[in-house]
Chain A
Amino acid sequence: MSKPNIELQAFRTKRGKRLLSHLITTSLQYKLWIAFLLLLIVLGLIGYYRQLRYGLVVTAMRDYTSWGIYISNFVFFVAISLVGSLFSSILKLNKNLWARPLTRISEIIAVAAIICAAVIIIVDMGRPDRIFYVITHLRIQSPIIWDVIIISTYLVISILLLYISLLPDIALCRDRLTEIPNWKKKLYRITAINWHNHPKQIAMLRKVNKILAIAVLPVAFAIHTITSWLFATTWRPGWDSTNLGPYFVSGAFMAGAAVIIIAMYFVRKHLKLSKYISLIHFDKMGKLLVLLSLVYLYFNINEYLGPAFKMVGVEGEHITELFVGKYAPMYWFVQLGGLILPIIFLMFKRFRKPLPILIISIFVVLGAWLKRFLIVIPSLQHPYLPIQGVDESYLHYNPTWEEWAITISSFAWLLLIITLLIKLFPVIPIKKYQQGSEIVFKQNIF
Chain B
Amino acid sequence: MSLNKIFSEMKSETKYIRYFLEVILAVTLILGANTISYGQDDLQDAIVTLSFIDNNEAKIIQAKATDQDGSPIEDLELYFYVQRTFSLLPIGDFFNATDENGIVEIPFPEDLPGDMEGHVKIVVKILESDMYNDLTLEMIKKWGVATPIDQFEEKRSLWAAAANAPITLVLSISGMILVIWFIIGYIIFILYEIGKIKSDIHTHFSEEKYFEDIIESF
When C-beta atoms are compared, the residue in chain A nearest to B179 turns out to be: A215
When C-beta atoms are compared, the residue in chain B nearest to A207 turns out to be: B190
A93 at the A/B interface (Cβ < 8 Å)?
Answer: yes
B1 at the A/B interface (Cβ < 8 Å)?
Answer: no
Q: Mark B185-218, 1 if CB is under 8 A from A, else 0.
A: 0111011011111111111110001111111111
A193-B191, A438-B212, A440-B212 as given contacts; A201 in contact with B218, CB under 8 Å: no
Whether the pair A160, B184 counts as a contact (CB closer than 8 A) is yes
Whether the pair A219, B180 counts as a contact (CB closer than 8 A) is yes
Q: How far is the CA of A201 from the CA of B159 in the complex (A)?
A: 50
Whether the pair B193, A431 counts as a contact (CB closer than 8 A) is no
Whether the pair A210, B216 counts as a contact (CB closer than 8 A) is yes
Q: Name A211's contact: one of B159, B181, B183 (CB within 8 Å).
A: B183
A200 at the A/B interface (Cβ < 8 Å)?
Answer: yes
Within 8 Å CB of A437, what residues of B? 212-215
Within 8 Å CB of B216, what residues of A? 92, 206, 209-210
Q: Mark B156-177, 1 if CB is under 8 A from A, else 0.
A: 0011111001100110010001
Whether the pair A433, B214 counts as a contact (CB closer than 8 A) is yes
Whether the pair A433, B215 counts as a contact (CB closer than 8 A) is yes
A432-B211, A434-B213 as given contacts; A442 in contact with B180, CB under 8 Å: no
A149-B177, A201-B197 as given contacts; A211 in contact with B212, CB under 8 Å: no
Q: Which of A114-122, A133-141, A278-286, A291-299 contacts B (4 or more CB under 8 A)?
A: A133-141
Q: Name B194's contact: one of A15, A146, A201 (CB within 8 Å).
A: A201
Within 8 Å CB of B198, what residues of A? 194
Q: How far is the CA of A196 from the CA of B211 in the complex (A)?
A: 17
Please give the distance in Å from B30's CB to the nearest CB on chain A. Answer: 45
Whether the pair A434, B211 counts as a contact (CB closer than 8 A) is yes
Whether the pair A431, B197 counts as a contact (CB closer than 8 A) is no
Interface size class for chain B? 35 or more
Whether the pair B193, A141 counts as a contact (CB closer than 8 A) is no
Whether the pair B197, A194 counts as a contact (CB closer than 8 A) is yes
The secondary-structure label for the interface of chain B is: loop
Q: How far is the CA of A325 from the CA of B190 in the complex (A)?
A: 57
Q: How far is the CA of A146 from the CA of B215 in the complex (A)?
A: 37
Within 8 Å CB of A92, what residues of B? 216, 218
When C-beta atoms are compared, the residue in chain B nearest to A445 turns out to be: B210
Q: How far is the CA of A204 from the CA of B162 in the complex (A)?
A: 41
A433-B213, A445-B211 as given contacts; A140 in contact with B194, CB under 8 Å: no
Q: How far is the CA of A196 from the CA of B201 in the complex (A)?
A: 10
A400 at the A/B interface (Cβ < 8 Å)?
Answer: no
A157 at the A/B interface (Cβ < 8 Å)?
Answer: yes
Whether the pair B218, A441 counts as a contact (CB closer than 8 A) is no
Residue among B169, B184, B201 having the largest count of chain A Cβ atoms under 10 Å = B184
Whether the pair B195, A193 counts as a contact (CB closer than 8 A) is yes
Please give the distance in Å from A438's CB to the nearest CB on chain B. Answer: 7
Whether the pair B180, A153 counts as a contact (CB closer than 8 A) is yes
Q: Name B162's contact: one of A140, A193, A201 (CB within 8 Å).
A: A140
Whether the pair B191, A208 counts as a contact (CB closer than 8 A) is yes
A140-B165, A141-B169, A443-B205 as given contacts; A208 in contact with B187, CB under 8 Å: yes
Whether the pair A440, B214 counts as a contact (CB closer than 8 A) is yes
Please give the distance in Å from A361's CB to the nearest CB on chain B. Answer: 29
Q: How far is the CA of A137 from the CA of B161 in the complex (A)?
A: 10
Q: Name B211's contact: one of A15, A156, A202, A438 (CB within 8 Å).
A: A15
Please give the distance in Å from B14's CB to the nearest CB on chain A. Answer: 58
Q: How far is the CA of A152 from the CA of B213 in the complex (A)?
A: 34
Within 8 Å CB of B210, what residues of A? 13, 442, 444-446
Whether the pair B218, A213 counts as a contact (CB closer than 8 A) is yes
Within 8 Å CB of B165, what residues of A? 139-141
When C-beta atoms are compared, the residue in chain B nearest to A206 turns out to be: B216
When C-beta atoms are compared, the residue in chain B nearest to A95 turns out to be: B218
Within 8 Å CB of A167, what residues of B? 194
Please give the distance in Å from A191's CB to the nearest CB on chain B. Answer: 11
Q: Name A153's contact: one of B181, B201, B202 (CB within 8 Å).
A: B181
Within 8 Å CB of A446, what residues of B? 210
Within 8 Å CB of B204, what residues of A? 443
A211-B187, A431-B213, A433-B214 as given contacts; A195 in contact with B169, CB under 8 Å: no
Residues A177-211 near B (CB distance < 8 A): 193-202, 204-211
When C-beta atoms are compared, the residue in chain B nearest to A160 turns out to be: B187
Please give the distance in Å from B152's CB to the nearest CB on chain A. Answer: 13
Q: How far is the CA of A92 from the CA of B186 in the complex (A)?
A: 22
When C-beta atoms are compared, the residue in chain B nearest to A138 turns out to be: B162
Q: How far is the CA of A446 from the CA of B212 in the complex (A)?
A: 13
Within 8 Å CB of B199, what residues of A? 194, 196, 198
Residue among B162, B209, B215 having the largest count of chain A Cβ atoms under 10 Å = B215
8 inter-chain pairs at a CB distance below 8 angstroms, sorted by A residue, are A138-B162, A139-B162, A141-B162, A195-B195, A197-B203, A205-B194, A439-B214, A442-B213
In addition to A157-B180, A437-B213, A437-B214, 9 A-B residue pairs with Cβ atoms within 8 Å of each other are: A141-B165, A153-B177, A167-B194, A193-B191, A198-B199, A201-B197, A432-B211, A436-B215, A440-B209
